[in-house]
Amino acid sequence: MTELLTDRLQLRIFRLDDFEAHAEITADPEVMRYIHAGPLSRVEAWWQIARYVGHWQLRGYGMWAVAERSTKRLIGHLGFLDPEGGLGFELGWALARHAWGRGYALEGTRAAVHHAFTVLERDHIACVIRP
């Protein structure tokens, strides 16, 4: 499973010790505003991490946990999903509000898109936003 490093970010597979931070991030209604119909409960956050880890096993790519390299602090998730019945190979991300406005989403998505086109040899990427 691939890990990506940027100047400021580490994109890596989720670990069990990421759960509390992930649950806090996805419980924020503003973070989830364009992703899901409301914030996630702790149970939903747990199943989301399990889905992300399982996606790596089944597809060989998936959502990375996004951590600041300088602090090792989890600040969100970013990566690709292509579930059965989904909309195809899709890029998505969510960052904690305290990480907004720092260019992290752009930095992380640039690395992920480069990975998709060069390593995964994709020719297109979808990005769907909840209205």
pLDDT tens digits, 17-70: 999 999 999 999 999 998 888 999 999 999 999 999 999 999 999 999 999 999
Instruction: Please tell me the pTM assigned to this model.
Output: 0.92
Domain boundaries along the sequence of the chain: 4-118
Contact partners, residue 80, CB within 8 Å, separation at least 6:
61, 62, 63, 89, 90, 91, 92, 112, 116, 120, 125
**CATH fit for domain 4-118, picks 3.30.70.360, 3.40.630.30, 3.40.720.10, 3.40.50.300:** 3.40.630.30
